């Protein structure tokens, strides 16, 4: 349960970041999700079934299992996952939980509220800037972008991603789909590419076309960039008898 929860929260961070002014370290105010029937999380220092994800100074994210392990300067807005709850119980397709771990209440709990996932889909990762050359270690051995096909980073619930895939099929452009919500390696791969190119990711779909990250679904840009891809070689036909 703990491992699957970690994979989900990393994918969620890729899809929805906590909006933050990284330079001044003053997070913006987040409105409540306004969705009825949500479970209230009881976040305490003693709880052992939560995962906490917070933003680092270089624009990457870190996930820990204890409140005390969260960096002091990042505690005002921390994404929380309750690993005892299923994605359906958390309504994870609609919301994330954000906690203020700065000061506990009198009863030992920390403020934690649901935030609409879709409102923050387009505020992803970080503001690229002077820290864009600081890469996490997992980016060192990343495979280069293929030169003969497109990589389509998507999620199962993204309608625009399906439209992009349909367009690629119709145009007979070779491509590979990677689900950043279900595949941790794909999530890390896209994060590294965004950091390396100082690209602000605005949700999915994201298409890697020969090393260029194309955000969203733009038919003209896809055709223009795909024209430079190496044509897939067909296997040689045996000589006719």
Read off the pTM.
Answer: 0.48
15-45 as b/e: b if 16+ CB within 10 A: bbbbbbebeeeebeebeebeeeebeebebee
Mapped onto helix, strand or coil, the DSSP state of residue 136 is coil
Closest of 116, 226, 222 to residue 163, by C-alpha: 222
Q: Which residue has the tokens 């409540």?
A: 32
Please give the structure tokens belonging to residue 138. Answer: 């997992």
Instruction: Give dist(CA 14, CA 181) in Å, integer.
Output: 8
Instruction: Give dist(CA 13, CA 102) in Å, integer.
Output: 21
pLDDT digits (tens, 9 = 90+) for 182-233: 887 888 888 888 878 878 776 789 999 999 999 999 999 999 999 999 765 4
Residue ranges of domains in the chain: 2-120, 137-226
Please give the structure tokens belonging to residue 96. Answer: 């994330």
Q: Element (H or E) spanning 212, and its range?
A: strand 212-215
222 Cβ contact list (under 8 Å, min separation 6):
150, 164, 167, 168, 171, 173, 207, 209, 214
If one counts every other C-beta atom within 10 angstroms of the C-beta of residue 94, the result is: 13
pLDDT digits (tens, 9 = 90+) for 56-91: 766 667 889 999 999 888 898 888 999 988 888 877
pLDDT digits (tens, 9 = 90+) for 149-183: 999 999 888 889 999 999 999 999 999 999 988 88
Identify the band that residue 50 occupies on the pLDDT scale cut at 50, 70 and 90: very high
* Residue 45, pLDDT score: 94
Give me the CATH topology for the region 137-226. Answer: Glutaredoxin (3.40.30)
Closest of 20, 27, 208, 7 to residue 124, by C-alpha: 20
Checking if the pLDDT of 127 tops 60, the result is: no
Identify the band that residue 35 occupies on the pLDDT scale cut at 50, 70 and 90: low
9 Cβ contact list (under 8 Å, min separation 6):
51, 53, 63, 79, 81
Helices (H), 40-110: 87-90
> Could you tell me if residue 102 is left (phi over 0), alpha (psi between -120 and 50 degrees) or otherwise beta?
alpha
The values of phi and psi at residue 163, to 5°, are -65, -40
Instruction: Give dist(CA 85, CA 91) in Å, integer.
Output: 10
User: Which one has a higher pLDDT value, 28 or 59?
Assistant: 59
Checking if the pLDDT of 109 tops 90, the result is: yes
Tell me what the mean pLDDT of segment 15-39 comes to: 44
């Amino acid at each position: 349960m703990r491992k699957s929860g970690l994979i989900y929260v990393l994918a969620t961070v890729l899809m929805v970041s906590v909006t933050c002014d990284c330079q001044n370290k003053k997070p913006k105010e987040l409105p409540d999700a306004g969705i009825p029937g949500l479970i209230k999380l009881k976040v305490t220092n003693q709880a052992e079934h939560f995962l906490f994800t917070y933003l680092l100074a270089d624009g990457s994210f870190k996930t820990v299992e204890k409140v005390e392990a969260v960096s002091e300067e990042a505690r005002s807005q921390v994404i929380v996952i309750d690993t005892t709850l299923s994605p359906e119980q958390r309504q994870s397709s609609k919301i994330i939980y954000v906690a203020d771990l700065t000061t506990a209440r009198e009863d030992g709990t920390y403020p934690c509220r649901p935030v609409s996932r879709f409102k923050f889909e387009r505020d992803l990762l970080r503001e690229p800037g002077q820290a864009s050359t600081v890469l996490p270690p997992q980016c060192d051995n990343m495979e280069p972008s293929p030169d003969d096909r497109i990589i389509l980073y998507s999620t199962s619930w993204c309608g625009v991603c399906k439209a992009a895939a349909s367009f690629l099929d119709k145009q007979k452009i070779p491509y590979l789909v990677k689900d950043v919500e279900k595949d941790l390696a794909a999530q890390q791969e896209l994060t590294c590419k965004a950091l390396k190119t100082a690209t602000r990711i605005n949700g999915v779909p994201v298409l890697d076309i020969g090393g260029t990250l194309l955000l969203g679904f733009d038919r003209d840009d896809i055709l223009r960039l795909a024209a430079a891809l190496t044509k897939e070689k067909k296997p040689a036909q045996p000589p006719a008898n």
